[in-house]
Structure 1
Amino acid sequence: MRFVADLHIHSKYSRACSRDCDLEHLTWYARRKGIALVGTGDFTHPAWYDHLRDTLVPAEPGVFRLNDALDRDVDRRLPPRLAGAPVRFMLSVEISTIYKRGDRTRKVHHLVYMPDLESAAEFNRRLAKIGNLGSDGRPILGLDSRDLLEITLECGGYLVPAHVWTPWFAVLGSKSGFDAIEDCYADLADHVFAIETGLSSDPEMNWRISGLDRYRLVSNSDAHSPPMLGREATLFDTDLDYYSVKRALETGEGHAGSLEFFPEEGKYHVDGHRKCDVRMEPKETIAHKGICPECAKPLTVGVLSRVEELADRDEGFRPEGAAGFRNLVPLPEIMSEIVGTGPKSKKVLAEIDKLTAALGPELEILRDVPVDDVEPHSPLLAEALTRLRRGEVIRDAGYDGEYGVIRVFEPGELDRRKASFSLFEVAAPTPPKATRPAPEPRPAPAPRPAAVPASKSVSATPHPVSVSLLDGLDPDQRAAAATTSGPLLIVAGPGTGKTRTLTHRIAHLVTDHGVPPEQCLAITFTRRAAEEMAERLEALVPAHAARLTIATFHSLGVLLLRELHDRVGLGADFGIADPDRRLEIALEITGDAKQAKRLIEERDERYLKALRALDLVDFDDLVTVPLALLADDPDLVDRYRDRFRWISVDEYQDVDEQQYRLLRLLAPADGNLTAIGDPDQAIYRFRGADVGFFLRFKHDFPTAREVHLTRNYRSSARVVAGALQVIEPTTLVPGRELRPMGEHGDARIGLHRAVSEQAEAVFVARTIERVIGGASFHALDSGRVVEDGTQGLGFSDFAVLYRTDRQSRALVEALTTSGLPFQKRSHDRLLDRPGVARIVRELTFTPGDTVADRVRAVAGDDHTAYELLKPLAAECGADFERFHTELSVGVEVDTLDPRADRVSLLTLHAAKGLEFPVVFVVGCEDGLLPLRWPGAPASEEETNEERRLLFVGMTRAQRHLFLSHSAARPPSPFLVPLKEIERIGDASPRRRRQGTQLSLL
């Protein structure tokens, strides 16, 4: 039989994968796509293996199917035309090996296939001795590729090198691989008979390399969510079983080709630097000698260049007997282009539902269904398929991790608004040869509390219902986004869709009210937040996004200074001095470290003059200099007010005095300034932030409208209620309201009292193990049941929050003992200080170390470390107590590999802006939270900010929140208002230890 196979997918236990990656969803999408054989993915993950064993039943030799009950349930959710198609599963897993061979570090990914569960179990047993299989569905092993192949063969399976051209993690990749498959697998290379070409190459590119002729070229989706299934796939003409597929790959008989991306759509097709917005074809890369013209660093060399480097044949060569292929664009992407909304939008998905119900599976629609049959359902889709099948597409190549874009219509060919609003309406009557019947109206799905309201269906009526960018917003968000002029204050509680509201408002202004994109300025506080905002606006208004200005305060300052550089004696390409360079310049003036620091802090004219002489500014200049220029020139103020007529500021509660003054100059009292934030999340007073500016917004802008976002989509009802109880005594939002909207069940807040700090850490480690599936959560004394391994949780879904970096020591020990992967993520404010930067250079660090860790390690004990930090504080020009406070927030020196799926250890300050399904807040004790200094009573405002810090920490939790404290101190007074909590039994340490005085180190 002829069938489609997709044998590289991931489960919900892999990092960055959808929680819908379960067998039911995969079966549903396989039938919808028209795929008969699917890899299981991730069979090395213990919980997923158990799920496979419990959920699948044997079918043909070496393949499995969903059990009858689940299979029937899947079919009930499919239209009759798609139900009942055979879907089989073959045991598969992707393994990452990172190891040294010779003088190079090798990073190679592999696909491993097994014929039965017993073979897979033996394979898992062998690999469990090498690495932690429970931390990620795609485990990372310190194992040579050749040795992985040997273990695979000994267990009865076979191995296929995965996405062989990917620059960073592939056998032939430009950054970490080999020049030939044989070089990688050494004496066992003859046992490799197929390779996966990956998304950024197609067979025609691989045919240029004669050394690959002996391998069958296969393609798979590498799907991280079920809708991505089949975006690439392999065709077979064999019996539907493991052994027939393997034989086809070994001999070529029955290997019928592949379905491919246009390779330009892959993330690494051409060369470039995404951060620098530099993209190059191979010839350009050669001309630039592989160096980025923006940052002067080596470019990421993509697949096209790498193929060119290894090719020994001309383009267009086809080996005799090579299987064919077809380039396709996924149907949701085509419909997205036609409809004008994202490929995952409800409108696109609704149209795909209708098309597949009427015409059959997606891949059949793309390849085989006559366009005449498609045309009555969507004339534009019929035209798109005609072009696609002729290969007439517009290709915008991907590079350096950025997916390319394939379009079938020329820019401007489709009226985006008209396509978005009325694509499937009946055309106005004309004298046609025959009129087409109007499509039946599709009823809107029943609303769910956490869901965005579904778009209204379009029916053939004289006055069709129009669709707006605001339709997907809740009433509060819509009220805010629909305010198109004048000052606006949006009080956005945690998890209420702050960024969504802000980006939809900007998109609404541009598309529905004709506001020129160039007149829109959006300001936030971190580059990460700015990038997220830019990505969302690109999806909402792709035709206008590039002309919007989205910046941090400091990147805005750079923009202004680039334009006004001549007014302050700077060249157009001025540099920004880092902390060490600043100190070096000041030292040249004074010769004394203390005086040099004073020059910098006081913005001494001699220091500033020396900076300018070197064509430099420092970090503080990026706000202060544009502020000074504007303050002294009313005409300049008018110029920028006219340029940026619509200004939006995110996290307004975090502005400091200089930023506030800059905004007041840019935005007139009656101007279009939108400020969004939450004063109850103001926690950065030590940075200079002043929540008072948020509180006086209505005074500064008397005509301002105020809108409150009160629907929390992040956290469970109990978490929301508990957070409100904690903040209520000192809330800065009169009538503070948060209404939980998320579907998180009846998750509650657990409170644990440990006998010591070490026992508290053990409690955290054991609870993570149980929730992730290491043991049943029924064992907890609270009686609260959390199912083991069935919630779609990975280690990255867990966060452990603490007030001081010192608290992480016990957690690191407990998690290491338990074998759980973790990473310490901390605030980086102190890295701006010259003395700390020097310490970072001079001390030896291991991944996750902080400055505090290393100073403590060098000192040998806390008291000596305390004394060592005194001169460091002096060198930094900081008050010692304040310096200690900042240090308690932590300084992470080296980050762990971001691909790792690990529990996050981070301070409460560093958790701001993040969210996790499961959150632990440890050290909820009087003296830690609120933090109290011996002999230095805290002010009322300091204590109130500590309460806000706990509020921020609690509202990071989506499903489950655990608060804990040790018996060494009284519990935090902030816990007193909590009403509906569950006490969880004490965790006992292995041995009792004497309590020691806490040090912020």
Structure 2
Amino acid sequence: MRYISGPLLVLAGAGSGKTSVITRKIAWLIQECGIPPARIAAVTFTNKAAREMKTRVSALLKGKESKGLTVSTFHTLGLNILRRDGHLLGYKKGFSIFDADDSLSLIRELMKDGSARAKGAAEKIQWQISAWKNALTTPQEAVALAAGDQTKTGAAFIYTEYTRNLLACNTLDFDDLILQPLRLLQTHADALTQWQNRIHYLLVDEYQDTNACQYELVKLIVRPRNALTVVGDDDQSVYAWRGAQPENLVHLQSDFTDLKVIKLEQNYRSTGRILKAANALIGNNPHIFEKRLWSQLGFGDPIRVMQSRDEEHEAERVVSQLLHHKFTQRTDFKDYALLYRGNHQARVFERALREQRIPYYLSGGTSFFERTEIRDVMAYFRLVSNPDDNNAFLRVANTPRREIGTNTLENLGNYATQRSLSLMDASFELGLTQHLNDRQLNALQRFTQWAVEMSDLAKEEDAATLARKIITDIRYDLWLEETCDNPKAAEKRMENVLELVAWMQRITTQDEDRSFADTVARISLLGMLDSADDSSGDQVMLMTLHAAKGLEFPHVFIVGMEEGLLPHRVS
């Protein structure tokens, strides 16, 4: 914690107190080393982890001393860099951020012009584009690398067009929030110097989950001071499938020759028996750094192994054992977790729990930001922030209905493509009269003129006030009443919309200088990083092993421990 003479790697085993290391080190840097909070940044991978870290630092510093401290996700840090300097790469203020569905929609649109549209093909191309971006591979390099491979050549062509379309729409996707800041700092020395002067000390959590892009960004920011602390554990790397490179821990030693390594091997979470089993399994892994977890919590209860005929029998036995244990030990349902490798395994356990009337919570359900009403309203906000956002335009042009049909949008789209314009800009062109009749043109321009007026208001109104005006103007409450099955459903969905506006109000209260566009970008990113599920209450937790990482439960059932399933056959 007190080591500041050079770059530091804290090799922290599971349950060894790594969050305490980071939070206490931040407090040490501020209180004992005299580094201003505004010159310190700590980055992690989820908003939940960032919030917890910030809360703990504030408690250590009694709140006031932490003013100006940056504790955020990698993607939020990238967003902040682009908010300030994105114009250097050709981005205009108010750029949009595509989520996975927006990205997939654009890829499918691009595949109409030649690529086969087999089931799952778009998703495979989306994954490949993300992998290329995380590996710092440009579209031009992807084309060269794909030579001779028909499938990859098609994906590389889509990648090229996809990149061109994003820039034309003043839009970034999730991966761009790391890739584009990196490219910006690599190609603009003045911007790099400003950010290096802004961040005098950088701390990184869950370092084994960083990809090539994130590692390069870290190296750029910390030079030349090399004032860096990273916390990681190669044995906890479970995200290789999405580009994580635990070998970045090895690269640290070659890139920072004066790196100091400190191991945290005492586990404060589990008993000795659990750690003995874990160490035996982990011992089979190829190791970058050797370590062995130990505990002072006693040896603990035996680990039970239950054999079952099939998955139905397994679910029946697990639920029966859970009920028996609960009533004999007087525990709560929330003390239990059922963990599995893949989401598809949950169904049979859900059925068994329902049959016994046991309350449960299924992790990974529909996120707040995935609800139809939230996606509708966010698309309006995105369009007002960034009139070039064609995806947002298409989603809301006739929602609620305003007599802008598919024929109007198809003709507008064809004309916009011919003229290399956004849909919004194309709607005001005189030449459009040759493609739409008077009724179609009037309906379209009533909508686009209103959107332009809202964009103008965004320059002077605060975010929450403008958000309420937009929702009132489009009469979204009436649209919900028309389209929902019953008044109660419409009321519930409108409450979700109002909660979104309240969220915007809280964000602008925290930062009064934040524009409408900045607020919309911030909320878009929250939706991609967080699932707004409510897992409170006395209920059994059902979740994947990936989702359970870092969580604690008194009693755990790991189900589906079968060859080919855990570990998965493609691991």
Q: Pick the TM interval, shorter chain.
A: 0.5 to 0.7
> Deviations 1:237-265 (Å, cap 9, x if unpaired)?
xxxxxxxxxxxxxxxxxxxxxxxxxxxxx
Using a 3 Å threshold, how does the CA distance of structure 1 residues 828 and 505 change in structure 2: closer, same or farther? Answer: farther
The residue type equivalent to 2:559 in the other structure is V
For 2:93, the aligned partner's letter is A
In structure 2, how many angstroms separate the alpha carbons of the residues matched to 1:647 and 1:655?
15
Compute the displacement of 1:639 (Å).
Answer: 2.4
Aligned to 1:665: 220
Deviation digits for residues 887-944 of structure 1, max 9, x if unmatched?
xxxxxx9987533321111111211121111111112121212222xxxxx6xxx4xx
Q: Counterpart of 2:66?
A: 545
Which residue pairs with 1:579 in the alignment? Answer: 100
Q: Which amino acid counterpart does residue 97 of structure 2 have in structure 1?
A: I
- Which of 548, 555, 564 pairs up with 1:918? 555
Secondary structure of the residue aligned to 2:307 is strand
Give the number of equivalent residue pairs.
381
**Helix, strand or coil: the match of 1:751?**
coil
CA contact (8 A) 2:78 2:181 kept: yes
Alpha carbons of structure 1 residues 736 and 546: separation in structure 2 relative to 1, 3 Å: same
Indicate yes or no: 2:341 matched with 1:704.
no
| 2:319 aligned residue | 765
The equivalent of 2:152 in structure 1 is: none
CA deviation after TM superposition for structure 1 residue 538, in Å: 1.3
1:637 positional shift: 2.3
Cα distance change, pair 604–730 in 1 and its aligned pair in 2 (3 A): closer
2:280 paired residue number: 725
CA contact (8 A) 1:492 1:678 kept: yes
**Pair 586,900 (structure 1): closer, same or farther in 2 beyond 3 Å:** same
Q: Could you tell me how far apart the structure 2 residues matched to 1:595 and 1:529 are?
A: 41
Correspondence for 2:339:
801
Counterpart in the other structure of 2:82: 561
Q: Is the Cα–Cα contact under 8 Å of residues 364 and 531 in structure 2 kept in the other structure?
A: no
Report if aligned partners of 1:827, 1:910 keep a CA contact under 8 Å in 2: no
Distance 1:757 1:665 in 2: 50
Deviation, structure 1 residue 606: 4.7
Q: Does the CA-based 8 Å contact 2:334-2:538 persist in structure 1?
A: yes
Distance 1:674 1:736 in 2: 19
Which amino acid in structure 2 is aligned with residue 820 of structure 1?
A: I
**Could you list the per-position Cα deviations for residues 525-580 of structure 1 after superposition, in whole angstroms to 9, with x for gaps in the alignment?**
11111111111111112113231111111111110000102212333332212334
Higher relative contact order (CA 8 A, sep 6+): 2
On the 8 A contact 2:207/2:249 being kept in 1, the answer is: yes
CA RMSD of aligned residues (A): 3.2
TM-superposed CA distance for 1:679, in Å, is 0.3
Q: Does 1:636 align with 2:191?
A: yes
Gaps of 5+ in 2: 130-138, 140-157, 377-394, 396-483, 485-529
- Alignment partners' CA distance in 1, 2:533 and 2:159: 40
- Aligned partners of 1:503, 1:535: CA distance in 2, in Å? 9
Using the TM superposition, give the Cα deviation of residue 647 of structure 1 relative to its aligned residue in structure 2, in angstroms.
0.5
Q: Which amino acid aligns with 1:579?
A: A
Task: Report if aligned partners of 1:728, 1:736 keep a CA contact under 8 Å in 2.
Answer: no
Higher helix share: 2
The aligned residue for residue 300 of structure 2 is 746
Q: Is contact 2:366–2:533 with CA below 8 Å preserved after alignment?
A: no
Identical residues among aligned pairs (%)? 35
Measured in 2, the distance between the counterparts of 1:595 and 1:665 equals 40
Shift of 1:595: 8.1
Task: Tell me the alpha carbon deviations over residues 293-315 of structure 1, each in whole angstroms, 9 at most, x when there is no partner.
Answer: xxxxxxxxxxxxxxxxxxxxxxx
**Aligned: 1:647 with 2:226:** no
Question: Aligned to 2:284, what secondary structure does the other structure show?
Answer: helix
Distance 1:582 1:815, change over 3 A: closer
Q: Structure 1 residue 741: deviation in Å?
A: 3.1
Question: What is the rounded CA distance, in whole Å, between the counterparts of 2:166 and 2:568 in structure 1?
Answer: 39
Deviations 1:215-253 (A, max 9, x none): xxxxxxxxxxxxxxxxxxxxxxxxxxxxxxxxxxxxxxx
Q: Please report how far the alpha carbon of residue 649 of structure 1 lies from its aligned counterpart in structure 2 after TM superposition.
A: 0.6
Q: Deviations over 1:945-1000 (max 9, x none)?
A: xxxxxxxxxxxxxxxxxxxxxxxxxxxxxxxxxxxxxxxxxxxxxxxxxxxxxxxx
- Tell me whether 1:503 sits opposite 2:33 in the alignment: no
Deviation at residue 825 of structure 1 after TM alignment = 1.3
Which stretch shows the higher mean deviation, 589-598 or 730-739? 589-598
Q: Give the superposition deviation at 1:660.
A: 1.3
Match of 2:4 in 1: 484
> In 1, distance between residues paired with 2:224 and 2:283?
32
SS at match of 2:217: helix
Contact 1:521 1:646 in 2 (8 A): yes
Alignment partner, residue 691 of structure 1: 246
Give distance in 1, aligned partners of 2:531 and 2:256.
Answer: 44
Provide the C-alpha distance between the structure 2 equivalents of 1:663 and 1:759, rounded to a whole number of angstroms.
Answer: 49
Instruction: State whether structure 2 residue 568 is matched by structure 1 residue 931.
Output: yes
Confirm whether residue 526 of structure 1 aligns to residue 46 of structure 2: yes
Shift of 1:734: 4.3
- 1:91-106 matches, within 5 Å, as none
The answer to whether the 8 A contact 2:339-2:557 is kept is yes
Matching residue's letter, 2:68: R
CA distance in 1, matches of 2:183, 2:217: 9
Alpha-carbon distance, 1:587 to partner:
6.0
Would you say 1:900 and 2:528 are equivalent positions?
A: no
- Asked if 2 retains the 8 angstrom alpha-carbon contact of 1:710 and 1:738, the reply is yes
Letter of the 1:808 partner, please give it: A
1:818 aligns with 2:356: yes
Pair 584,534 (structure 1): closer, same or farther in 2 beyond 3 Å: same
Please tell me whether Structure 1 or Structure 2 has the larger radius of gyration of its CA atoms.
1
Question: Which residue is 2:170 aligned to?
Answer: 615
Deviations 1:620-661 (A, max 9, x none): 211111111111133432322222121111000011111111
TM-score (norm 2): 0.61
CA-to-partner distance for each residue in 1:712-740, whole Å, 9 max, x for gaps? 11011211121111111225254422121
Match of 2:326, as an amino acid? I
Residues 776-815 of structure 1, C-alpha deviation per residue, up to 9 Å, x if partnerless? Answer: 3xxxxxxxxxxx21xxx42222111111223222211221
**Inter-partner Cα distance in structure 2 for 1:595 and 1:626:** 33
